[in-house]
Each structure stands twice: as C-alpha cells, then as structure tokens.
Structure 1
Amino acid sequence: MSDTPQTAPQAPTLGEAFFYWLKLGFISFGGPMGQIAMMHTDLVEKKRWISEHRFLHALNFCMILPGPEAIQLAIYISWLMHGVTGAVMAGVLFFMPAFLLLSVLAGVYLAWGDVPLMQGLFYGIKPAVVAIVLFAAWRIGSKALKNSVLWGIAAAAFVAIFVFDVGFPWIVLAAALLGVIGGKFMPDKFKGGGGHGASDKQYGAAVIDDHTPTPAHAKFSWAKLGITVAAFIGIWAVAMLMLGGNQALSEMGMFFTKAAFLTIGGAYAVLPYVYQGGVEQFGWLTGAQMMDGLALGETTPGPLIMVVTWVGYLGGVAKTVIANPIAAGFAGAAVATFFTFLPSFLFILVVGPVVESSRNDLKFTAPLTGVTAAVVGVIMNLAVFFAWHTFFPKATGATPFVAPFEWFAVVVAIGAFVALWKYKVDVMKVIGVCAVLGLSYTLAMGAM
C-alpha cells in the first residue's frame, strides 16, 4: 500500500506561480544543473505541480535546444501551466535578478576593481556550488538510470567529455542516436527512463500528471505556429530598429542573436563563442575582464549564460554607447541580455506543442531517454570540473594539483552535500551558511 498522496494538489494560481519563479530567480545558484535540481525538488517532489515523467520529458527536449537549458525548462513548465503569460513571466523572473545584480557588480568592478566582501562571500559559495551540482547528478541519475544500458550511456558520456574533451552537442547527438537504435531493438530499456518508467509515483499525484491531457493552449496547430513565428520576427525586428542609430548596440544585437541560435549545449558551449566575439572581434572587454565576469557568473544566481550581461555592460562602457557611463553600461547589458534570451521563448512556444504531442510515442521518447542518461554523465563532469578549480584554484592542465590546496573549501563542500543529501536542508539556507562561512574564514585569514 503506497503512502504517497493519491490526490493532486490544487493547481497554482498565476500569482502563486509568480512568487515561486521570482524566488527561484534570486536563489538559482549552481549553474544549469543546480537550477534544474532545485526545480525538480520544488516542482516534482514538494509542490507536485508536475510529475517526474513530464518533468524529464521537458528536460530532455530543452537539453537538445540551442541556448540555456535551465531557463528553457522553467519557460516550458510555466507555459504548460499558464500559457504564454506564464512562459514570459517565468523566463523574465528567472534572469531578471541576475541581470540587475551583474549590472551593478559590473559598475562596481569598473569603478573600484575589487570587492573583498564579495570575494569572501564567493569563497564560501563556490564549494556549495560543487555540492549542489554533485547532488543534482545523484538526484537525476537515481531517477533516470533505471538499467545497465542507461548507466553505460552515462558513463560513456562522462569519459567522452572528461577524458577526450568531446563537445557536448556531439555527446547529445550520439546519445539520441543510441536512443533511436535502442528504442527499436531494446524498447523496454528506453521506455520512460528505462523499463520501469521514469515516473513511479513516489511523490504522489501531480497537477500535471503522467496522463493529464495536454491543455488546449499547448496543442499544436499550423496557424498558431505561423502566428508565433511572425510575432517573434516582428519583436526582433522592432528591437533592432530601435538600435539602428547606434552601431555598437546594433552589433551587439546581431552578435547575441547569432550566439543564441548557433550554439547547442547551454552556456558552456556558447562561452567560447562569446569570448571570441567580445574580446577578439569587437573589443568590448579584455580577456582578464571576461574571466572575472565568468567567475561572478558562476557564483551569482541565474543561468551561467548571464555572463552576457557582464559582457554587454563592459562593452557599452568601452564603446561609449551613451555619454553617461552608467547608462551606457545598462544599455549594453540590456541589449546583450534581451537578444540572448528572446530565442529561448521562441523555441518553447513554437516547438513545445510538438513535444507535448510526442510524449507517449516511443520513436520520440527513446532518443530523449538516451539524452537524459548522457546528461547525468555530463553533470558529473561539471561537478568534477568545479571541484578541481575550487579545491586547486591555481591548477592547469599541465599542473592539475598545484598548490595551494583549499582544505577549507573541501570541508565546506562535504558539509553542504551532507546537508542537502542526508538532512534535506533547503538550498537557499545551504548557500547562505556557506557564504557566511567563506566570509568569516577570509576575514580571519586576512587578520592573521
């Protein structure tokens, strides 16, 4: 006899959803996998707004899209619940706190260059990020890897990216092809996460459950597709026309539009492209400034791709797009952010109805099941990467374990993981405690 709730909770109102997505925007640390883990904990396990199966189906789809997968997952889930209004609301709230914070930090950075208080806080947050990403790997892997075949795909993905530095898009493509083959010759291994179903009701009935019909606004029609595409082309064109008198801002608009469309694999795939364009092609910032921005992007809430806000702010100031440097910085940041994220809404609203109509068709779900397995391996690689650079901050490929070794960061990471895994402590509390510990430690060391 199951002790899980058999009755779905009441569907959230638009207001309730607004405050959840706003909160997530402020606490979404840990990069895309940490953010996905937070959404899984909140929306699947605690609130039961969406079932495990529907969550993973949406996640698999977002993983193969160009652009930031975590924010696209948020847009997708909110779109299912509240239509276009919900999609826009969730997407904007997901990145707005990070946009404001990074813009302010960029201004402080240009004015003063160094903020010891922030460095101390980030010193504690970095090992917390390691724990969050590792916990995400465990959480998603324990649910999605239901058999040895899927475990094998996850292991192969980890080896491919960690040992051979294979690009994430190629890993996703290979995993999808394995899913196509596996769905034909071993259908039980690729059905709903591996034969036993990705959703086994361990969390209870959900508002959007496994067999909940697709809402009317999420059903596919050619007319709706045409109107949506035309609307997005119109929004993009009007935005570009508004920048027409400023060459630097127009270049930013075109560049970040291409960045959003041409990269698959999330922030880590687009970063080399942004670095090349922002530093080498347009001279919006220096290489050192780009790395400083990346460090802040890793340890502030919001998607890691929010580093484009930093690039845009510094570029706006460097190119004097407006006489006032603060206004110039915010103008550049707004342009970079807007044109980076606009395609994410397009992808969900245009392709989402097709994905919803395919969720019970093994021809479509088997490749996505393979992608999920590969993603677990990629998350593990991300956890190892973060841990390496957090515990050995001066490490390089040639000297991977060069001193100093940050023993304090190791202790904080272990404590954070235990708090998340064993004691189910809220992620926000873990981040807060780790930040205070980091600040206290750096102040104490500085006083010695």
Structure 2
Amino acid sequence: MRPSEGTTVQQPGFSDLIRVFGRIGLISFGGPAGQIALMHRELVDERGWIAEGPFLRALNVCHLLPGPEAQQLATWIGWRLHGTKGGLAAGLLFVLPGAAVMLGLSILYAYAARLGPVAALFLGIKAAVLAIVVQALIRIGRRALDTRFKMGLAVAAFLALFLLNLPFPAVVLGAAAIGFLAARWRPAWLKAHGGHGEAPAGPLPWGRTLRSVALWLAIWAAPMAVILLTLGPDHVLWKIGAFFSQLAVVTFGGAYAVLAWMAQEAVQSMHWLSPREMTDGLGLAETTPGPLIMVTQFVGFLGAFRAPAPFSPLVAGILGAMLTTWVTFAPCFLWIFSVAPWMERLERAPRLQGALAALTAAIVGVIANLTLWFALHVLFARVEAVAAGPARLQVPDWASIDWRIALIAAGAALLVFVAKRGVMTVLGLSAAAGLVLSGLT
C-alpha cells in the first residue's frame, strides 16, 4: 500500500537499505526516466519507505541541482531513511556497479577497439547512438516545451551553441537567469511546476549546511591536492580532474545536455579522443547500469591512457577513470547533504522553479546541438568549420559519408520510433548489423 503524504509505512533497517539499493544499482538501465521509475516502484509503491509527496518534491529539487538527478534522488532517499550513512550507501550503490562495468569496457576498448570484429561492432553502435539521442531530444522536447517562450529559449540555446560557439556554462546559466526573472514578471510564460503552501516552520539549518559544504569540498578536492603536489599542474591527471570538476558544476539537465560541450573540449581542445570514439563511449554508457554521465569515465580513461608517464598506460588509464568518477560524483553528495534539510523550502520557491523551467527548455536546444554534432561526426569522415561573420558553420564533406553507418542508423530509427524497441535491443541489433556490413565490405 502506498504511504500517505509525509509518512512512511515502515522504517527499513540499514541492511534492508543496502540490499535494495544494491539491487537497484545492478538493474538501473534505461537512463534517468527509467531509473527514477524503478526507484518509485521499489521504494514508494512496493515497500512504502517514502511517501509520494516527499518523493516528488525531492525529485523537483534534484532537477535544480547540477549532476545526475536519479543518483541524487537515491542519495536523498538514503539520507531521509538513515541519515548520512544511508545517503552514502544509497548513492554509492547506485553508481559503483555501472562504474565497475564501464571501467572494464574502457580497458577492453583501449586494447581491442582496432581489431576488425570489435571495430565492426562499434560501427553499428555509433549508428544506434544517433537514433537514441534523437529519441531523447524528442522525448524531452515534448515534456519541456509547453509554451512559445520555452520554444524560443530552446531555439536560442541551439543557435548560441551551434552557430556562435558560445560557452555551454554561459548558455545554461543565462537561461536560468532569464527564467528567474520571468517567474517574477511573466510566470505564465514558463508554466513552472512547484510545491504549494507555506514553507515549513522552524529554524533555518545553516549550521548543518555549512558543515556539510566544508566537509564535502575537502573530500572533492583531496585527490586533486595529491596530484598537484606529486605530479604538478601540467600532468594529464590534473587536467582531467580540473575539467571534470568544472563539468560537475554545470551538468544541468542530464548527461545529454553536457555531452556536446564535453566532446568539444575533450576532442578539439584536449585531444584525448576522436569524435567517433566519443560516440563509442556514449554507446558503452548506454549499455551499463547507473547514470549515463558515466561516459565521463571512458573519456578520463582514454585521456590518461594515451599520456601515461610516469605510469604504465593501464595504470594511468585506471587512475584517470577513478579520478573522473570521483570528481563527477563527489559533488553530488555535496549538493544533497547540503541541500537536503532545505528540500521543502526550495521546492516551494517560485523563482527557483522558474529558473528550472527555463533551464530545462534551453536544454532541449543543447541536446539538439549535441544531436547534430554527433550526426555530422559519425556519418562523415571529414567535417570542416567555416567562418561566416560571427558564426562558425560545421560543413561536412559529402564525399566522405559512411553509407554503412547511414544505413544502420536508418534501421535503428525504425526500431526506436516504429517498432518501439528498447535501448539494449537497438544496440544489440545495430552492433550485429555492423558486423555483417563490415564483413561484406
């Protein structure tokens, strides 16, 4: 029986929490929507550990925070049930299974990606990723763009990124600022959804929040301090940690929202991997449990693997992957343990809800930019940036199109949009098609 507002049917033991979140961490495929639905079924509907109202209010606030909202929601549930140790257990169990699988796949990729059969498999996976990203764009767009103002924000974000090459943080934070102001003067433009009623009474939990911020900032920075003292600021591990720490602060709207910016920096500025390898990494992340943002671990592994000194390539790659995971997910615990005592107050703040609504609308434009970027760099072997005034156009060489990827992508689109197949089925069939077409050619 589902619990009523503000109550739980029972207080689970800590061992029960470990067991249930261990299971959730192993089967949490399908992206944030599927992961949130899984937690709702397991924890609200079936076990009654959390009431419907608090679950939804916490989810609303998690959307306001940078980072993977499903993992943050899991951390908050653990915190609500068993305090800090419960939050740590739930959050870590949500991440660690996928991190272990992703590390193994990254090692396999680094050593075997150029082998014929493996390269053929990834040819199909690249094509499938195109259809999956388009599906994410359409799904998020239908949910987020329910006013003309939001549609305008989405178009503006796309043009700012794709044509003007503006920094991703500036685009998303600018959209949030616009929403914050619009919620005051034109709230109907946003149709923001938040809680109702008065904020809870009682003293403001400033002391608890400040202690959590100080502790988790120190935990977040600890490995970076070790690297700075032992390897220096020019080492690839420092650059990996610094870059993904920045990414953790601006990861609003889920992994798809920051992938284009991450790919642009990792590929074009850092030269850690190629555009097609970036797409391979996203395909691998789609096949693992846990947050899709785990693709960052793949990027960190390859970046360190290819500039390993003074370590061996394998050791450097593992250190790069572990560091990336640390600086990506340690901030999630910082946000939740600092914000959790404020959850009900934040969820009832109309201007923050307006900022979230505007930011979500802009994310649709960000994902549209990602979709086009992936399509150009996966379908075509050569893409040139052409300046046209303040704009920079990405122009493909049509003679360099890979007809095999185009054909498999069309088949993957039919599987996704017509046959309504799941991600794992689409990836598996596309990888098999890659093997067949590569064998024929």
Over 3 Å counting, the alpha-carbon distance change for 1:378 and 1:289 in structure 2 is closer
Partners of 1:312 and 1:288 in 2: CA distance: 8
Farther-moved stretch of structure 1 (47-56 vs 405-414): 47-56
How far did residue 375 of structure 1 move?
0.6
2:361 alignment partner, one of 349, 360, 373: 373
Does 2:308 match 1:305?
no
Correspondences of 1:17-96 after superposition (within 5 Å): 17-24=21-28, 35-36=31-32, 38-39=34-35, 57-58=60-61, 60-62=63-65, 65=66, 69=67, 72-83=68-79, 84=87, 85-96=89-100
Farther-moved stretch of structure 1 (399-408 vs 242-251): 242-251
User: Which amino acid is the alignment partner of residue 57 of structure 1?
Assistant: N
Partners of 1:189 and 1:288 in 2: CA distance: 42
How far did residue 440 of structure 1 move?
1.7
How far does the alpha carbon of each residue in 1:372-412 deviate from its partner, in whole angstroms, 9 at most, with x for none?
11111111221122122222232323541422333443343
Unaligned runs of 5+ in 1: 29-34, 198-209, 280-286
User: Which amino acid is the alignment partner of residue 150 of structure 1?
Assistant: K
Confirm or deny: 8 A CA contact 1:53 1:192 kept in the other structure.
Answer: no
Q: Which residue of 2 aligns with 1:105?
A: 109
Over 3 Å counting, the alpha-carbon distance change for 1:223 and 1:418 in structure 2 is farther
Q: Which residue of 1 aligns with 2:186?
A: 186
How far did residue 21 of structure 1 move?
2.8
Q: Which residue of 2 aligns with 1:384?
A: 372
How far did residue 319 of structure 1 move?
0.9
Q: Which residue of 2 aligns with 1:424?
A: 420
Q: Which residue of 2 aligns with 1:201?
A: none
Does 2:298 match 1:320?
no
1:225 alignment partner, one of 204, 209, 216: 209
Over 3 Å counting, the alpha-carbon distance change for 1:191 and 1:103 in structure 2 is same
How far does the alpha carbon of each residue in 1:239-281 deviate from its partner, in whole angstroms, 9 at most, with x for none?
567769843799566544432443435354455665699x5xx
Q: Which residue of 1 aligns with 2:254?
A: none
Over 3 Å counting, the alpha-carbon distance change for 1:77 and 1:422 in structure 2 is farther
User: Which amino acid is the alignment partner of residue 312 of structure 1?
Assistant: A
Correspondences of 1:49-448 after superposition (within 5 Å): 57-58=60-61, 60-62=63-65, 65=66, 69=67, 72-83=68-79, 84=87, 85-106=89-110, 108=111, 114-192=114-192, 221-236=205-220, 239=223, 246-247=230-231, 254-263=238-247, 264-265=250-251, 266-270=258-262, 287=271, 294-301=278-285, 302-303=292-293, 304-306=295-297, 307-315=299-307, 318-321=308-311, 326-354=314-342, 356-398=344-386, 399-445=395-441
Over 3 Å counting, the alpha-carbon distance change for 1:271 and 1:148 in structure 2 is closer
How far did residue 312 of structure 1 move?
2.6
Aligned residue for 2:310, secondary structure, equals coil
Partners of 1:372 and 1:257 in 2: CA distance: 27
Confirm or deny: 8 A CA contact 1:75 1:345 kept in the other structure.
Answer: no
Aligned residue for 2:384, secondary structure, equals coil
User: Which amino acid is the alignment partner of residue 394 of structure 1?
Assistant: R
Aligned residue for 1:397, secondary structure, equals strand
Aligned residue for 1:224, secondary structure, equals helix
How far did residue 308 of structure 1 move?
1.0
Confirm or deny: 8 A CA contact 1:131 1:413 kept in the other structure.
Answer: yes
Aligned residue for 1:166, secondary structure, equals coil
Partners of 2:162 and 2:316 in 1: CA distance: 40
User: Which amino acid is the alignment partner of residue 375 of structure 2?
Assistant: A
Aligned residue for 1:191, secondary structure, equals coil
Confirm or deny: 8 A CA contact 1:153 1:370 kept in the other structure.
Answer: yes
How far did residue 428 of structure 1 move?
1.3
Q: Which residue of 1 aligns with 2:84?
A: none
Under a length normalisation based on structure 1, what TM-score does the superposition of the two structures give?
0.72
How far did residue 75 of structure 1 move?
1.9
Over 3 Å counting, the alpha-carbon distance change for 1:23 and 1:178 in structure 2 is same
Q: State the superposition RMSD in angstroms.
A: 4.1
The number of residue pairs the alignment matches comes to 391
How far did residue 368 of structure 1 move?
0.8
User: Which amino acid is the alignment partner of residue 18 of structure 1?
Assistant: G
Farther-moved stretch of structure 1 (82-91 vs 49-58): 49-58
Over 3 Å counting, the alpha-carbon distance change for 1:331 and 1:6 in structure 2 is closer
Confirm or deny: 8 A CA contact 1:191 1:365 kept in the other structure.
Answer: no
Partners of 1:401 and 1:40 in 2: CA distance: 41
Partners of 1:48 and 1:387 in 2: CA distance: 39
Partners of 1:415 and 1:292 in 2: CA distance: 19
Confirm or deny: 8 A CA contact 1:147 1:189 kept in the other structure.
Answer: yes
Farther-moved stretch of structure 1 (90-99 vs 231-240): 231-240
Partners of 1:423 and 1:6 in 2: CA distance: 37
Over 3 Å counting, the alpha-carbon distance change for 1:87 and 1:40 in structure 2 is closer
Aligned-pair identity (%): 25
How far did residue 338 of structure 1 move?
2.7
Over 3 Å counting, the alpha-carbon distance change for 1:444 and 1:274 in structure 2 is closer
